[in-house]
């Protein structure tokens, strides 16, 4: 936040039912569509004109849908390891296998949650989303954040089916930086490549030696890549 705040009015948004709220997974107001509406409302409240959006993973899906319906609110977008965006993916044996693995991962995670085994479920999800032993080796404060947000993956499989097509991406007439980690799991590269082929104004940056949590584990090169992009736009 300090690096970005030196040159920009920088706000980190906690969307509905995310940290610091401890959500139990109850209710029906947690979805990609709802978060896209919430994000648009949040930006409008500031009446500050179009904004630079920097989003990570599922946040990409939220931001793309918000930009589709409220293009005047967006000046540029930084999309880090885009997900889930299933409707963009090519129907190939390789992509089908990756998506089947993701479905299995989420199913096993939720099964653990339903048994009350939150830590065991988080270990499955975090280790496959980032890299092996990530959850075990994480500091205690970060583990608590993940516990508080555990049920935020509840709707991932459903949200992934919400349609967002190449034609939708092709209408986004703003500069877009696509960011991935050199060691990010293949599923993110699959989605990034599918999205990249559709966007009219895009750049790409790869953070060396980094995985899905690159903004936290490699903040120096990540911040440098994003800030250089923002300075040009």
Nearest CA to 15 out of 58, 67, 47, 70 is that of 58
Tokens of residue 55, six digits: 């989003």
pLDDT digits (tens, 9 = 90+) for 177-224: 999 999 999 989 999 999 999 999 999 999 999 999 999 999 999 999
Distance CA 35, CA 58 (A): 11
CATH fit for domain 26-232, picks 3.40.640.10, 3.40.47.10, 3.40.50.1820, 1.10.10.10 = 3.40.50.1820
Buried b (16+ CB within 10 A) or exposed e, 125-146: bbebbbbeebbeebeeeebeeb
**Among 48-57, 92-101, 133-142, whose mean pLDDT is lowest?**
92-101
What is the percent of the chain with per-residue pLDDT over 90, rounded to a whole number? Answer: 74
Distance CA 83, CA 156 (A): 10
Distance CA 53, CA 66 (A): 11
Kindly indicate the confidence band of residue 123, based on its pLDDT and cuts at 50, 70 and 90.
very high
Nearest CA to 168 out of 30, 52, 66 is that of 66
Average pLDDT, the chain: 93
Residue-level pLDDT at 94: 84
pLDDT digits (tens, 9 = 90+) for 5-32: 999 999 999 999 998 888 888 888 999 9
- Per domain, the residue ranges of the chain are 26-232
Distance CA 224, CA 220 (A): 6
Residue 101: is its pLDDT beyond 90? no
Tokens of residue 195, six digits: 């999205």
pLDDT digits (tens, 9 = 90+) for 30-79: 999 999 999 999 999 988 779 999 999 999 999 999 999 999 999 999 99
What is the pTM assigned to this prediction? 0.92
């Amino acid at each position: 936040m300090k690096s970005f705040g030196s040159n920009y009015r920088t706000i980190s948004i906690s969307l509905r039912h995310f940290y610091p709220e401890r959500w139990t997974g109850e209710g029906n107001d947690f979805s990609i569509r709802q978060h896209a509406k919430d994000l648009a409302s949040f930006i409008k409240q500031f009446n500050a004109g179009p904004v630079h959006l920097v989003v990570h993973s599922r946040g990409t899906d939220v931001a793309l849908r918000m930009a589709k319906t409220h293009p005047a609110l967006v000046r540029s977008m930084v999309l880090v390891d885009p997900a889930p965006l299933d409707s963009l993916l090519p129907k190939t044996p390789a992509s089908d296998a990756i998506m089947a693995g993701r479905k299995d991962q989420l199913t096993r995670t939720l099964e653990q949650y339903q048994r009350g085994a939150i830590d065991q479920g988080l270990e499955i999800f975090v280790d496959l989303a980032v890299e092996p032993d990530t959850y075990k080796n994480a500091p205690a404060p970060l583990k608590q954040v993940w516990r508080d947000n555990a049920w935020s993956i509840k709707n991932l499989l459903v949200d992934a089916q919400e349609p967002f097509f190449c034609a939708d991406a092709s209408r986004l007439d703003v500069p877009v930086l696509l960011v991935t980690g050199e060691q990010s799991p293949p599923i993110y590269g699959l989605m990034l490549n599918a999205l990249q082929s559709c966007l009219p104004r895009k750049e790409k940056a790869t953070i060396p030696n980094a995985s899905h949590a690159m903004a936290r584990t490699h903040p120096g090169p990540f911040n440098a890549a994003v800030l250089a992009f923002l300075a040009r736009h």
